[in-house]
């Protein structure tokens, strides 16, 4: 039989790395193997624990809530701060215009400022709605994606994973409970 392999023969993986890169490949493969085989290393263990905590926080819905998501809090605060600064500048401009025409503190001046405040409030509402809506969609997908690694690491049983999948997809439980956080005993 031509071209066939022998039973019990071993195979080797051929590297397609250019000759000049072989020393680098060997160096990085050694580092990678050390990291993989030396799981008792305190630094590696700390990184693993942080990664597992991140996955658990994601699955439990920690980042869906603006109060517990630092990125979301910071971005929302920036939107509010910028809106307030813009509103203050708009008020100053309206005051200059009203003063120039002798209408400062008049009902027309108050109406202009009311309109500016309403527009500013609507802009903030629109920006925060977009921010929270996009974050919600992204985090729901992140929740789904975080389940498999936790199963593979033995952090979740298949029953827990199935319950989470049902909750995330809206298949299980009553439709009246829209809790964005899931309590896990991991």
| Residue 151 confidence (pLDDT) | 75
The SS3 of residue 14 is: coil
Tokens of 53: 């905590």
Which ranges of 101-180 does DSSP label H, i.e. alpha helix?
107-152, 158-169
| Average pLDDT taken over every residue of the chain | 75
Q: Which positions ≥6 away from 122 have C-beta within 8 Å?
A: none
The 10s digit of each residue's pLDDT in 94-123 is 999 999 998 888 999 999 999 999 999 999
* pLDDT exceeds cutoff 50 at 137: yes
The 10s digit of each residue's pLDDT in 84-99 is 999 999 999 999 999 9
| Residue 113 confidence (pLDDT) | 94
Return d(Cα 124, Cα 118) in angstroms, integer.
10
Q: How many CB atoms lie within 10 A of CB 116?
A: 17
């Amino acid at each position: 039989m031509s071209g066939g392999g022998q039973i019990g023969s071993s195979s080797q993986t051929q590297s397609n790395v250019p000759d000049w890169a072989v020393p680098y490949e060997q160096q990085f493969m050694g580092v990678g193997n050390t990291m993989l085989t030396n799981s008792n290393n305190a630094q590696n263990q700390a990184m693993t624990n942080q990664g597992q905590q991140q996955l658990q926080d994601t699955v439990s819905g920690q980042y869906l809530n603006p109060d517990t998501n630092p990125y979301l809090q910071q971005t929302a605060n920036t939107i509010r701060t910028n809106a307030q600064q813009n509103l203050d500048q708009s008020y100053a401009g309206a005051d200059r215009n009203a003063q120039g025409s002798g209408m400062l503190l008049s009902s027309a001046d108050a109406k202009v400022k009311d309109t500016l405040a309403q527009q500013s409030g609507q802009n903030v509402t629109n920006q925060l709605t977009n921010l929270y809506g996009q974050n919600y969609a992204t985090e729901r997908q992140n929740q789904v994606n975080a389940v498999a690694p936790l199963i593979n690491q033995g952090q979740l049983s298949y029953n827990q994973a199935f319950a989470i999948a049902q909750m995330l997809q809206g298949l299980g439980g009553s439709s009246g409970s829209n809790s964005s956080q899931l309590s896990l005993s991991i």
